[in-house]
A and B are shown apart, each in its own frame.
Chain A
Amino acid sequence: MPNIVLTEAVYYILLSLLKPMHGYGIIQNVSKLSNGRVHLAAGTLYGAINTLLEKGWIVALPCEEYNRRKEYAITDLGVSVLKTEYLRLNELVRNGNMFLGGSINE
Chain B
Amino acid sequence: MNKFVRKVFWIWDLEKEEAWLNKMASNGWILVSVKPFKYEFAPCSPDMKYGIKILCLDKSVTGGNIKNYITFLCESGVEYICLRGDFVYLRKKITNGPFEIFSDNASKIKYLKGFKNKHKSMLISYTVLLLLYALQLILYYYKFAIVFVSIFFLILSVIMLLLLTCLIAKIQKLNREIKRLEKEMIISE
Chain A: residues with CB nearer than 8 A to chain B? 7-9, 22-24, 27, 36, 38-50, 69-70
Among candidates A23, A47, A49, residue contacting B61 with C-beta atoms closer than 8 Å: A47
User: Can you list 24 residue pairs at the A/B interface with Cβ under 8 Å?
Assistant: A7-B106, A8-B189, A9-B103, A23-B75, A23-B76, A24-B75, A27-B77, A38-B103, A39-B97, A39-B100, A41-B100, A41-B102, A42-B72, A43-B111, A44-B102, A44-B107, A46-B63, A47-B61, A47-B63, A47-B107, A49-B72, A50-B63, A69-B75, A70-B72
Shortest CB-to-CB span from B9 to chain A, Å, is: 22
Chain B contacts for A46, CB-based, 8 A: 63, 69, 72-73
Among candidates A39, A44, A69, A70, residue contacting B96 with C-beta atoms closer than 8 Å: A39
B55 within 8 A of A: yes
1/0 per residue, CB under 8 A from A, across B132-145: the answer is 00000000000000
Docked CA distance A50–B103 (Å) = 16
1/0 per residue, CB under 8 A from A, across B148-185: the answer is 00000000000000000000000000000000000000
Shortest CB-to-CB span from B105 to chain A, Å, is: 10
Chain B contacts for A44, CB-based, 8 A: 101-104, 107
Q: Are A39 and B72 in contact (CB under 8 A)?
A: no
A interface majority secondary structure: helix
Chain A contacts for B75, CB-based, 8 A: 22-24, 69-70
Chain B contacts for A70, CB-based, 8 A: 72, 75
Instruction: Report if A24-B76 is in contact (Cβ < 8 Å); known contacts: A7-B106, A41-B101, A44-B102.
Output: yes
Chain A contacts for B100, CB-based, 8 A: 39, 41
Shortest CB-to-CB span from A26 to chain B, Å, is: 9
Question: 8 Å CB contacts to A: which residues of B46-77?
Answer: 55, 61, 63, 69, 72-73, 75-77
Docked CA distance A7–B75 (Å) = 23
Among candidates B78, B104, B106, B111, residue contacting A42 with C-beta atoms closer than 8 Å: B78
Supply 8 further A-B pairs (C-beta < 8 A) apart from A8-B104, A23-B72, A50-B63: A7-B104, A38-B103, A41-B101, A44-B101, A47-B107, A47-B110, A69-B75, A70-B75
Q: Are B106 and A43 in contact (CB under 8 A)?
A: no
Q: Are B61 and A43 in contact (CB under 8 A)?
A: yes
Docked CA distance A69–B103 (Å) = 22
Which residue in chain B gives the minimum CB-CB distance to A26?
A: B76
Among candidates A8, A23, A27, A43, residue contacting B107 with C-beta atoms closer than 8 Å: A43
Q: Are B77 and A43 in contact (CB under 8 A)?
A: no
Among candidates A7, A8, A38, A42, residue contacting B101 with C-beta atoms closer than 8 Å: A42
Instruction: Report if A45-B76 is in contact (Cβ < 8 Å); known contacts: A9-B103, A9-B104.
Output: yes
